[in-house]
Chain A
Amino acid sequence: MATDTQFPLWEVFIQAKSGANYIHAGSVHAADSKMALQNARDTYTRRGEGTSIWVVPSAAIVASNPDDNDMFFDPANDKVYRHPTFYVMPEGAKAI
């Protein structure tokens, strides 16, 4: 990103309705947090997608390294017993 002459990058998270998870919608450029919120509003909520927005400086996000994938994620692949698939779901618990 060294050649990026634009404003700093911010990641945008939108909550579709009260109580729901914030979901990553994309990113915007902005000079400060206030502009980031406005740009996020203008870019991602024009069609009534959200009721609340979070913006986070992209630089503040710590991401896992793809080189570590074998160490990070592969061990989970053969542990089926970690999935709650051996239980019978009670009726009416559709959201689980």
Chain B
Amino acid sequence: MSAESPKSAQVVRMSLMYRVQHLLLMVTLLVLALTGFTLMYHENWLGRTLIRLEGGVLFRGFIHRAAAVLLMAQLVYHAFYMLFSREGKREMRDVLLRRQDFDDFLQAIRYNLGLAGEYPRFGKYGYKEKFQYWGATSGVFLISVTGVILWVETFSMKFLPKFVLDLTLIIHGYQGLLLFVILLFWHVYNEHLHPSVFPMNMAWLTGKVEVEWLRQEHPLEYEKLKQEGII
């Protein structure tokens, strides 16, 4: 595409590989949330109904663990992909947390409150995307650890005192809730309600975003792509 491309010109933001990973992550997290929260909230009617729909309390556990294995496999695969593949390494540089992100965050708040004159200019990923990415990744890692401890309960009980398992169960549940809340709110706003993308940012399906959108929301990336002659 040339620099003269019309306003509706599009540019790739999510490669096929990332779209597949994103979709798989979405499905596994939803399955885990559905099967997990039904156990956490088994005493209310919705939990009870869902447990029955999930084939009873034992089959629910089976689905939950099957999805968890898939999720953990994705996590490992994703880590290798980000660290060792060419595309992954480039993305890793873009998504790595820097001091700048925290400064951007504070500046955005100051601007939103009317205390700063200028809104921060983001690269490919602004602080919103980065916080969500690292929050979700570390969350998935930690919830996997507590999940495995609970899965091999006979083994865990041989070494850990009972209260540690009680804690693990509490933490596992709340980690899930926290992860769910963050992903839900963040997505609802950033990918749906945000005026620039309403009703939905299509990038997770098509992989592409409009160049004009990029110029407004991620100006540094826009300039970088322009310099590289991609747009």
Genuine A/B complex? no
